Amino acid sequence: MNPFVWRRGKAEKLLSLPVLEECFCACRQLPASMASSKKVVTRDEWERKLRDVKIRKEDMNRLVMNFLVTEGFVDAADKFRIESGTQPDIDLATITDRMEVKKAVQSGNVQEAIEKINDLNPTILDTNPQLYFHLQQQKLIELIRVGKINEALEFAQEELAPRGEENQAFLEEIEKTVALLVFEDVKNCPYGELLDVSQRLKTASEVNAAILTSQSHEKDPKLPSLLKMLIWTQNQLHEKAAYPRISNFSTAALEDPAI
């Protein structure tokens, strides 16, 4: 296939990005044999183009607020609200509650977390069997961690076994968790990762997402998606042109185009 035709197809999807469109036109004028020689956009030219792009301050502020709220930086969000005048799309008090729940799971206090979720909104765990199961499973893991073997066994039988009867996938999870009881050295057994901090974090983030959803809030902040899109776009553009790209996202510094 002619490489130009193929690229053109790709580029057409991105017609809304003016830079790319121009670049594609430049490409089309090149003969096929010179496909590898890319158009070069100098740093000056690039910065000039960027200067013409308008961004509204309020949009920026909202993105920042969205990030603070979703990630649960409640004090920062409150300060930012006062200083920038940006209204959060959620009651800031609920962030504190959400963060407390998250912290409870992260530190292994699962029962406390369950009660706090129920105080926050009793319909969350009733309508989300998977989350409820994962919390119960986490509770079992915590019992095993502190060596309360008898309690763990009783809990598994009384509370978890009925969930396993309701759902095959849950049953497999229970079996894996209970298997931890068989090993002397639980940390190094096949399912040892269940005792890892990462398991608590996984459960905590599931809880966090469910609470956000119950509050009609998206469970992921928008800033990371925006950065992801930037990386993807840069990669697309890289095939067609040499331009000052950003590689270090903590500084967002423009690099000189490599020719």
Partner 1 sequence: MPAATASGGGARAEEAAASSSSAPSCVGMRPEELAARLAAAGGPGAAAGDGGGAGGEEGEQERVLALREIKNQIIGNRTKKLLYLRLGAVPAVVAALAEPGASPAALVQAAAAAGSFACGVDDGARAVLDAGAAGHLTRLLAHPDEKVVDACARALRMIYQSKQAPKFDVNNEKNMDFLLSLLDSKNENVTELAANIISHSCDSNTEQLALCGAGVPQKLVGLFGGSMNLRDACLDSMTAIIRDNCDVASRFASMDHGKYFRSIVGLIHDRSPRTRLLSCLCLIALGHASPCHFPDRQIKTKLILVLLELIEEPGNVGDEAPLALTTLIKDSVELQKQAFSTNAVVKLSNHLLANSLETRRAVTILFALAELCSKQEESRSQLMSGQVSTLILDALKHDCADIRVAACSCLKNISRSSKVLSAGRISCDTVIAPLVQLLYDSSTSVQIAALGAICNIAVNLTPRKSVLLHSGVVSQLVNLSKSMDPTLRLKSVWALRNIMFLLNPKDKDFILKELTVSTLSSLICDSEHFVQEQTLALVQNLLDGHVDSVNYVIAEDGMVLNAISRQLNSASAPGVCVQGMLVLANMAAGDELNKEAVMDVIVPHQADRIKSSFVVNFLQSKDKQLRVATLWCILNLIYPKCDTSSTRVTRLQNVGVISQVKGMMNDPCLDCKNTRQRLAKEKLGKGALHRDVCREP
Q: Is position 225 an interface residue for partner 1 (rule: CB under 8 A)?
A: no
Q: Is position 224 an interface residue for partner 1 (rule: CB under 8 A)?
A: no
CA dihedral 240, 243, 244, 247 (to 10 degrees): 20
- Burial (CB count <10 Å: 0-12, 13-18, 19+), residue 199: middle
Any idea how long the chain is?
259
Q: Is position 132 an interface residue for partner 1 (rule: CB under 8 A)?
A: yes
> Which range touches partner 1 (CB under 8 A), out of 6-14, 57-65, 116-124, 179-187?
116-124
State the DSSP H helix or E strand holding residue 140, giving kind and residue range, or none if neither. helix 129-145
Q: Is position 148 an interface residue for partner 1 (rule: CB under 8 A)?
A: yes
Site for partner 1 in 153-182 (CB under 8 A): 154-155, 159, 162, 166, 168
Q: Is position 139 an interface residue for partner 1 (rule: CB under 8 A)?
A: yes
Q: What is the smallest separation between the CB atom of 92 and partner 1, expressed in angstroms?
A: 16
Among 20, 27, 95, 125, binds partner 1 (CB under 8 A): 125
Q: Is position 127 an interface residue for partner 1 (rule: CB under 8 A)?
A: yes
CB 231 within 8 A of CB 241: no
225/234 with CB nearer partner 1: 225
Instruction: Compute the distance between CA of residue 179 and CA of residue 72 in angstroms, rounded to an integer.
Output: 35
37/118 with CB nearer partner 1: 118
Buried b (16+ CB within 10 A) or exposed e, 184-198: eebeebebeebbeee
214 contact partners, CB below 8 Å, separation of at least 6: 120, 121, 123, 124
Among 118, 234, 235, 247, binds partner 1 (CB under 8 A): 118
**Two tokens, residue 119:** 């105080």
Instruction: Compute the distance between CA of residue 38 and CA of residue 47 in angstroms, rounded to an integer.
Output: 19
Q: Is position 45 an interface residue for partner 1 (rule: CB under 8 A)?
A: no
Interface with partner 1 (CB under 8 A): 108-112, 114-115, 118, 121-123, 125-129, 132, 139, 142-143, 148, 150-152, 154-155, 159, 162, 166, 168, 214-218
